[in-house]
Amino acid sequence: MTLITVRPEGLYCEAGGFFVDPWRSVDTALITHAHSDHARSGSSHYIAHHVSQGILRKRLGDTIDLRGVEYGEKLKLGNTWVSFHPAGHVLGSAQVRVEQGDQVWVISGDYKRCLDPTCTPFEVVPCNAFITEATFGLPIYRWQTGEATCREIYDWWQSDLDSPSLLFCYAFGKAQRVLSELTQFTDKPVYVHGAIHVLNEIYRQVGVKMVETISTSEMPRSYKFKGDLVLAPPSAHRSSWMKRFPQPQTAFASGWMAVRGARRRRGYERGFVLSDHADWQSLVNTVLQTGATQIYVTHGQTDVLSRYLTEAYGLNALPLKTLFEGEGDI
């Protein structure tokens, strides 16, 4: 029996009458998390974990019909029971568990297994069928802890206190993870681009601890950010926004920094490997821990991971093609 199928609109559960992270407008959309490749506007009804609500409303509009649920809370949708479980990816991120009769399917959404002080750790949810992401599904991807990488970021910042240190990273999730880890190393304020500033406010409202942050736009024109750490989204790199910072040192924090040449191609002086996705070993371990015998692999390295799970573990693993195969959240 197949509880979840792929339709032009996205992953669909016919028995429950809902889609998960649809890329087109539908009636009922369950949203794993608020990154833009998963949460799209135009659907009639949304259901997501309640701490996602602030960011979802900011991104999709204040007037959307959005129901917030707790982790583990059971909802009766059509002929199914549905619940959301922590994915450890970003604030409010969830896996979606769907149960009908003796069948349990879990859609992972984006997830990671490294600890992240800004979100609830990933929970292994036993199931018959598991739909996993594979953004970094190659053995070359191996992450150290976020704490270790943020220690490197702190040391890089301290290594040149005569210049502004501009760290580029994804505005939702990555920036707040860095700001939270930095509380272990410093109590100095960190300056942030406006796109990060508005999201930080939402994080603070739900109680996430981060270093003090100041929006760069609040500083007088004459201020030169000498010896300061400044966080900005990648879209600000080489934009006119950078004119405020004379002779900065620049760096990029992303899982893609593990790829040789990626830093230089993008024009950053330093690269820090920091990802909110599972690395290769975590993907494999997670699949095995769920106990699922049927695996569908979506996003990224779908062929490599599904072939490995089939050959090494005898699992029935197949790639699941999604419409969106871009870089997504980095």
Which residue ranges make up the site for Zn ion (CB under 5 A)? 35, 37, 110, 328-329
- Residue placing its CB nearer to Zn ion in the complex, 87 or 230: 87
Give the contacts of 58 (CB within 8 A, at least 6 positions apart): 198, 199, 202
Q: How far is the CB of 176 from Zn ion (least distance, A)?
A: 13
Q: How far is the CB of 56 from Zn ion (least distance, A)?
A: 13
How many angstroms separate the CA atoms of 214 and 229, rounded?
11
Whether the CB-CB separation of 254 and 328 falls below 8 Å is answered with no
Q: How far is the CB of 299 from Zn ion (least distance, A)?
A: 6
What CA–CA distances, in Å, run from 6 to 10, 13, 23, 299?
6, 9, 11, 14
Q: How far is the CB of 38 from Zn ion (least distance, A)?
A: 6
Q: How far is the CB of 72 from Zn ion (least distance, A)?
A: 21
- Residue placing its CB nearer to Zn ion in the complex, 227 or 328: 328
- Residue placing its CB nearer to Zn ion in the complex, 99 or 329: 329
- Residue placing its CB nearer to Zn ion in the complex, 37 or 147: 37
- Residue placing its CB nearer to Zn ion in the complex, 99 or 110: 110
